[in-house]
Structure 1
Amino acid sequence: MTAQTPLDIRTEPPEAAGERETLTGFVDYFRATVVLKAAGLSDADGAKRLLPSLTTVSGLVKHLTDVERYWFRTRLDGQRDVPTRWSAADPDGEFRVNDNDSLAELIKDYEAACRESREVLERYDLEDRCRGRSAGEGDGDGDVDGDVDGQNVRWVLVHMIEETGRHCGHLDILRELLDGSTGD
């Protein structure tokens, strides 16, 4: 018997809309998919390693939380001192799960980061350039970015669709391995 994930209340991206609405529709759809795939698991299942890497449901939620804050608050908006769990000393820090990590709280933090990203995004047009510099730090996906002053809001949105969508696939596989839940 296949387990069921929580009720799917995601809003499909628009099929006929302007560029901005299409891009934000897809990123919001994938953000909601992250929550859908993670919700309802126990803390133990969220932290359970099913792969040789540090990849877990809780770790992916933490990673995507940091990525949201990094790309929208740090890179796009130029905010300083935005916290991340990764560092030069621990580039995989956001994937590390400890006994104090509550999956429900991690999901709430992810949802808060997504709200913060939407608030930042409201202040910019698609052609506006990123205000923050990378200063050699990575975005948490293993890449080290150079100076991206040439990147614009459109690029950040497309990158977040790619990043979040890719990790939704990981979450889908992990969820099926954990409790048999399948679905889009």
Structure 2
Amino acid sequence: MSAPLWPEELVSTGTEREILEAFLDCQRRQITAKVAGVSEADARQRIVPSMTTLAGLIKHLTAVERNWFQRQLAQRDPADIPGNSRGDDHSWELTPSDTLDSLIAEYDTVCEENRYIAAGFTLDDAVPSKRLGEVSLRWIYAHMIEETAQHAGHADILRELIDGATGL
């Protein structure tokens, strides 16, 4: 008996959009799975010279999600977006009130909002971008897969250093 297929495997012959959405959601799941079961102290623990922590990864990716889908794609005014929507160095900073549960809940909420925003665009739809001139939803999906996968790798390493846990 073979293992059940993962959502990204179920779209192996899907449309380009189905594949991009499934792989982004796969990386989003990997990020939250890597922090499951760690203590608040371990989630905040800095074990590398940078500000990278398990909790900080979630907070940073929430800001990056806001930046690309809400600021860039939906062209929302940053003043109308709660929380960091730049994904800059400040997006890694944890406040005393940040808990792993609250950070994951916020990340999940922002990802759900972003799925809704993206549903209103085709892959070829392009919006103005200060840095790139224009950016398409296709490019945003590819970039977010890259960004989230990169940080999922960081989370893998941090988790292994913290408690030896590997894999999902």
For normalisation by structure 1, the TM-score amounts to 0.81
Partner residue of 1:139? none
Give yes or no for the alignment of 1:181 onto 2:161.
Answer: no
Pairing of 1:79-94 with structure 2 (within 5 A): 79-80=76-77, 81=79, 82-85=81-84, 91-94=88-91
Q: Which structure's residues are more often strand, by fraction?
A: 2
User: 1:59 aligns to what SS in structure 2?
Assistant: helix
Matched to 1:97, the amino acid is L
Distance 1:68 1:181, change over 3 A: same
Give yes or no for the alignment of 1:67 onto 2:64.
Answer: yes
Distance 1:32 1:10, change over 3 A: farther
CA-CA distance at 1:39 after TM superposition = 1.8
Percent pairwise identity: 40
CA-CA distance at 1:113 after TM superposition = 0.7
Give the counterpart of 1:127 among 124, 128, 131.
124
- Between 11-20 and 157-166, the greater mean CA deviation after superposition: 11-20
State the alpha-carbon separation in 1 of the partners of residues 73 and 85 from structure 2.
Answer: 19
Pairing of 1:82-161 with structure 2 (within 5 A): 82-85=81-84, 91-131=88-128, 133-134=129-130, 146=131, 148-161=132-145
Structure 2, gaps ≥5 residues long: none
Matched to 1:31, the amino acid is R
Distance 1:154 1:23, change over 3 A: same
- Between 155-164 and 35-44, the greater mean CA deviation after superposition: 35-44
CA-CA distance at 1:99 after TM superposition = 2.5
Matched to 1:85, the amino acid is N
- Cα RMSD (Å) of the superposition? 2.0
Give the counterpart of 2:147 among 149, 163, 166.
163
Give yes or no for the alignment of 1:38 onto 2:38.
Answer: no
Q: Which structure's residues are more often helix, by fraction?
A: 2
Structure 1, gaps ≥5 residues long: 1-8, 135-145
Partner residue of 1:5? none
State the alpha-carbon separation in 2 of the partners of residues 98 and 74 from structure 1.
Answer: 23
